[in-house]
Amino acid sequence: MEEWTQDSLRARFCKALSEMYKTEVPLYGDLMDIVWEADAAAVRASQEVEGGVAIDPDDVLPARHRVERHGAIRLGTAHELATIRRMFAVMGMFPVGYYDLTLAGFPMHATAFRPKDREALAAHPFRVFTTVLRMELLTEKTRALAQQALQQRNIFTDRLIELIDRAETAGTLTPQEYAEFINEGLETFRWHSKATVSLEEYQMLKAEHPLIADIVSFPNSHINHLTPRTIDIDLVQQLMLDRNMPAKERIEGPPRRKCPILLRQTSFKALEETVYFRDGSSDIFIKGSHTARFGEVEQRGYALTRKGRHLYDQILSKVNSKALQHQGKASLTQGPAEVYETILTEQFHDFPDELAELRQEQLAYFCYRLTDKAESWAMSPSKTALVSSLLRQGVLEYEPITYEDFLPLSAGGIFNSNLGNTSTSKRLIMDADPDLDGFQRLLGTAVTDEFWLYETMQTESLETCKKKLGLDEL
Ligand code: OOG
Ligand code: NI
């Protein structure tokens, strides 16, 4: 019988969630097909195979690639956040990073639940970006309504809570219980078209911010998108446009580069879905609609150090102010997406695009390992060595560490293209500070710093090399 571990549970949960979402949002299934096609074409192009031999990307790409995806959910209360934390922990997913979304004009903050170590990430890197409402940032009227609606709901089944309790105390579950855990867990993320509020209440929440309405109006915390990973996002974007999918205008994040960094993302826009709103306290429902759920795709690049991230942020803010300057000066030859693309490419010339330079300037994180020259080198009596010299001698080699986290602010474009066409000017001004302490209080634990995780991976890889070479210092 197959063994259940945190890794296999996470893999199966992710697969079940993806299957569920495919039936709920069929366009997401179409997007997955496009990703497969794009990856196959990219693999073929990189191998320069002639005669159109069909290559299965699964035979070439790392095992984690095909199954890799992230999801996003939005929560309302401390109890919901703390319980989700316990639920994800059973699957080996822990809160990493703090994201202040007020910078994008949303009264929310967030973390990402994900595996933390290299082995677990390699086994299955499923992650869920998890947002929680900041009640203190709502107007009094909306806050009262939100609190009332959220108090009445329970987004977890009783059986799920029992299973979480058991997993925490016993440290494990029976195979039967693991299977139940998946079914019960899916209930938290399933779409419900019956709102828990009236149409007037929904409209009031939405007028303050559409995401408040999305969080507060429903009986659970539906998954709002799932995002497969691709190796060629430009091709995916092109295929989406070719097939008349409602793709967003351009890809978010850095431009296409030889050395990909951080994250590039695009999506198809959210669907307008039928929702039934309560009519007073009666059992009569009124038909309306809600726009929330979409499909996204991402290409992951290298994890940057704080220094690298700082440079990235600086460049991106220059890009945005230059793009703003261009607005109004209507160009006859280029639409806004092309203008933006041109500015983006220009400005990113300031970000080194050679692996060696990224390493020397400490802009990105790397894992080091020994080559087959190491064995004879280890015979030498030296007790210290320099990394640079071992690299030069070909004793040591390195590869960039993949970015496992998020860039929700550069994905602000994705948020906004999913909020419908209402004006965003009012929303973009929100005078609030980040509140990591407040977030951790709701969560019931501390979040792990993502830079520290990457740094530790890099240091540990060097430590291993040092030991194997018998060095005191490296
Ligand atoms: C959060 C979206 C954040 C991403 O890819 O940056 C995210 C949300 O829509 O609730 O998923
Ligand atoms: Ni996303």
In tens digits, what is the pLDDT along the chain, a chain of 474 residues? 567 899 999 999 999 999 999 999 999 999 999 999 999 999 888 776 555 566 677 777 877 888 889 999 999 999 999 999 999 999 999 999 999 999 888 999 999 999 999 999 999 999 999 999 999 999 999 999 999 999 999 999 999 999 999 999 999 999 999 999 999 999 999 999 999 999 999 999 999 999 999 999 999 999 999 999 999 999 999 999 999 999 988 899 999 999 999 999 999 988 899 999 998 767 789 999 999 899 999 999 999 999 999 999 999 889 988 888 887 665 555 677 888 899 999 999 999 999 999 999 999 999 999 999 999 988 888 888 999 999 999 999 999 999 999 998 765 555 555 555 444 444 445 778 999 999 999 999 999 999 999 999 999 999 999 999 999 999
Residue 101 CA: which ligand 1 atom is closest?
1
pLDDT at 420: 54
CA dihedral 458→462→463→469, nearest 10 degrees, is 170
Distance in angstroms (rounded) separating the CA atoms of residues 63 and 39: 14
pLDDT attached to residue 311:
96
**Contact call for residues 9 and 174 (beta carbons, < 8 A):** no
Among the bound ligands, the one closest to the CA of 75: 1
For residue 106, the CA-to-ligand 1 centroid distance in Å is 12
Task: Determine whether the shortest distance from the Cβ of 416 to ligand 1 is under 6 A.
Answer: no
Enter the pTM of the model.
0.94
Domain ranges of the chain: 6-302+405-443, 304-354, 366-400+449-474
Residue type, 134: R
How far, in Å, from the CA of 225 to the mean position of ligand 2? 7
> Residue 75: enclosing H or E segment and its boundaries?
strand 69-75
* Residue 73: strand pairing partners: 130
Best probe residue, ligand 1, of 129, 222, 248, 298 (max atoms within 8 Å of C-beta): 129
Q: Which of 222, 229, 414, 419 to mutate to test the pocket of ligand 1 (most atoms within 8 A of CB)?
A: 414
One CATH from 3.40.109.10, 3.30.460.80, 3.90.1300.10, 3.10.180.80 for 6-302+405-443: 3.10.180.80
CA distance 460 to 471: 15
Instruction: Taking each helix axis as running N to C, give the angle between helix 233-242 and helix 26-47, from 0 to 180 degrees, rounded to the nearest 10.
Output: 130
69-75 and 127-133 beta bridge pairing: parallel
Place of tokens 């007028």: 207
Closest ligand 1 atom to the C-alpha of 415? 9
- Pairing of the two strands 263-268 and 272-278: unpaired
Sheet containing 194-198, strands listed edge to edge, beginning at the edge strand earlier in sequence = 194-198, 272-278, 285-291
**Residues flanking ion ligand 2, Cβ below 5 Å:** 227, 296
Model ipTM value: 0.99
CA–centroid distance, residue 284 to ligand 1 (Å): 34
What pLDDT score does 65 carry? 81
406 lines ligand 1 (CB under 6 A): yes
pLDDT at 326 (0 to 100): 80
Position 120: which residue type? A
Ligand nearest to the CA of 224: 1
Q: Measure 96 CA to ligand 2 centroid, in angstroms.
A: 15
Taking CA atoms only, the protein residue closest to ligand 1 atom 1 is: 72
Q: Give the whole-angstrom CA distance, residue 85 versus residue 73.
A: 12
Q: Which atom number of ligand 1 is nearest to the Cα of residue 129?
A: 11
CB 137 within 8 A of CB 212: no
Residue 91's nearest CA partner among 4, 165, 220, 20 is 4
The C-alpha atoms of residue 279 and residue 379 are separated, in whole angstroms, by 81
| Cβ atoms of residues 216 and 290 within 8 Å | no
| Nearest by Cα to 404 from 122, 191, 156, 194 | 122
Please give the number of the atom of ligand 1 that sits closest to the Cα of 211. 10
Residue 219 φ/ψ region, left for φ over 0, alpha for ψ in the -120 to 50 degree band, beta for the rest: alpha
User: Does 99 contact ligand 1 (Cβ within 6 A)?
Assistant: no
